[in-house]
Amino acid sequence: DNAADVFLKFIDDKGKITCNDTRSLLCMYNAAHVRTHGEETLSNAMAYTKGHLQCAVEQQTIPPSILLDQVRRTLETPIFRRPPRVEARHFISVYERMSTRNDAILELAKLDFSILQALYCEELRTLTLWWKELQLQDHLSFARDRMVEMHFWMLGVLFEPQYSYGRIVLTKFFTFISIFDDIYDSYSTLEESRLLTMAMERWDEQAAEHLPGYMKFFYSKVLTTMKVIAKDLDSQGNKHADYVKKLLIDATKCYYNEAKWREESDTPVTVEEHLRFSVPSCCCMHVACLAFVVIGASGDAIEWGMTYPKIMRASCVIGRVINDVASHEVTHLQL
């Protein structure tokens, strides 16, 4: 609990938090979100600070100010959960309003943001041309067009300028993953899913001969794109380009296993059983391991990630539960 010792000055002899300063409470609330198991100080701080901050907003005891805006924003989304570049853009506006601002730092922040934003726009231009050339929506009308959304997601993984090509690879990969998800989850029969999974394992154009027409077209585009990516990574000196294919094949196996379990299960399932089949198909492991590939991590690091170590599995469980909650909320709104 040493990491939480800094907060002991806010706790009295009876173990109760005594701080009432709004800015300090806000900092403590943000810190409490990155606590680990057993850090009782931060666990107690979470409940205390959240209650006091919510009460302050509801009772309007904080005057209209930058601090009030920060409290409202943090209660909606804690700072560590915000995408770094989105937060950077927001804080530029906050910092600009501060009387203590340093104008040189402010100008540097604006310049940094504009340069990276221009780079992201160039990446989207490249990705948009690729997407249009694929013509997938002419053949897979049921599939969602999530290319721009995927690029935004990948900015949460790698936002630095040196990883521009890595973001393009990640976006293409997970645009395909999204379509695979739609195929396995909503469109194909179980037999068609089995055939597609077998074709992916073979990774050969000839393997498409038994696939339905729409799958043949998509399968061909996937293989072509992945081969180009592997060639590009090889030319850049990346020794682990083959993992791109391995991760995509593994993802389709996860989707098929979940679809098969869902189709064959005729009894109510437990949460544990649901997570056993659905956690791998959330593809959080695939995000992390593909990021390892594109930043040039070692083969040992990639292999370690693919074994679902504790930190990876925990991330996958969180990703799956958040996805399930969001899906439930969308379904509820549609009723």
Instruction: Calculate ∠ Cα 142-144-149, nearest 5°.
Output: 180
Q: Which CATH superfamily is domain 119-334 in?
A: Farnesyl Diphosphate Synthase (1.10.600.10)
Q: Assess whether the region 2-79 and the region 119-334 belong to the same CATH fold.
A: no
Domain range list for the chain: 2-79, 119-334
Q: What is the pLDDT of residue 3?
A: 54
Q: Is the model's pLDDT at 335 over the cut of 70?
A: no
Q: What is the pLDDT of residue 173?
A: 98
Domain 2-79, what fold?
A: Glycosyltransferase (1.50.10)
Q: Are 59 and 42 in contact (CB under 8 A)?
A: no
- What is the separation, in whole angstroms, between the first and last Cα of the chain? 47
Q: Is the model's pLDDT at 129 over the cut of 90?
A: yes
Q: What is the pLDDT of residue 266?
A: 72
- Segment 86-114, tens digit of pLDDT: 999 999 999 999 999 999 999 999 999 99
Q: What is the pLDDT of residue 317?
A: 94
Mean pLDDT of 70-81: 92
Q: What is the pLDDT of residue 298?
A: 95
Q: Is the model's pLDDT at 267 over the cut of 80?
A: no
Q: Is the model's pLDDT at 1 over the cut of 80?
A: no
- Segment 273-310, tens digit of pLDDT: 889 889 999 999 999 999 999 999 999 999 999 999 99
pLDDT band for 2, please (50, 70, 90 cuts): very low
- Chain-centroid distance of CA 155 in Å reads 9
Q: Are 75 and 53 in contact (CB under 8 A)?
A: yes
Q: What is the pLDDT of residue 103?
A: 97
- Segment 241-255, tens digit of pLDDT: 999 999 999 999 999
Mean pLDDT of 215-221: 95
Separation of alpha carbons 305 and 311, rounded Å: 9
With both helix axes pointing from N to C terminus, report the angle between 164-182 and 147-155 in degrees, rounded to the nearest 10. 130
Q: Is the model's pLDDT at 15 over the cut of 70?
A: no
Q: What is the pLDDT of residue 155?
A: 95
* Buried b or exposed e, range 178-202, using 16+ CB within 10 angstroms: bbbbbbbeebbeeebbebbbebbee
The model's pTM: 0.88
- Quick one: CA torsion of 291, 296, 298, 302, rounded to 10 degrees? 20
- Chain-centroid distance of CA 9 in Å reads 36
